[in-house]
Amino acid sequence: MIPQLRRRVRPEWIDANEHLSEAYYVLVFGEATEHAMAHVGMTPEYREREKCSLFTVEAHLRYLDQVVLGEEVTVTTQVTEVGGKRLVLWHEMSAGGRMRATAEIVGVHVDLGAVKAKPLPDQVRIAAERLLAPEKAGR
Which pLDDT score, from 0 to 100, does residue 137 have?
55
Note whether 107 and 79 are within 8 A (CB). Answer: no
Q: What is the mean pLDDT of residues 115-132?
A: 96
Which pLDDT score, from 0 to 100, does residue 1 have?
87
Encode pLDDT of 39-82 as tens digits: 999 999 999 999 999 999 999 999 999 999 999 999 999 999 99
Encode pLDDT of 14-28 as tens digits: 999 999 999 999 999
Please provide the DSSP assignment of the chain as one string: -PPPEEEEPPGGGB-TTSSB-HHHHHHHHHHHHHHHHHHTT--HHHHHHH-EEEEEEEEEEEE-S---TTPEEEEEEEEEEEETTEEEEEEEEEETTEEEEEEEEEEEEEETTTTEE-PPPHHHHHHHHTTBPPTTTT-
Question: How many residues make up the chain in this entry?
Answer: 139
Residue 53 identity (one-letter amino acid):
S
Which pLDDT score, from 0 to 100, does residue 40 have?
97
Which pLDDT score, from 0 to 100, does residue 134 have?
74
CA 130 to chain centre: 17
The full set of domain ranges for the chain reads: 5-129
**In the CATH scheme, what is the code of domain 5-129?**
3.10.129.10
Which pLDDT score, from 0 to 100, does residue 48 have?
97
Encode pLDDT of 81-106 as tens digits: 999 999 999 999 999 999 999 999 99
Evaluate if residue 139 carries a pLDDT over 90.
Answer: no
Instruction: Measure Cα distances from 100 to 23, 94, 95 in Å.
Output: 14, 5, 7
Q: Would you say the pTM of this structure is higher than 0.85? A: yes
Note whether 14 and 21 are within 8 A (CB). Answer: yes
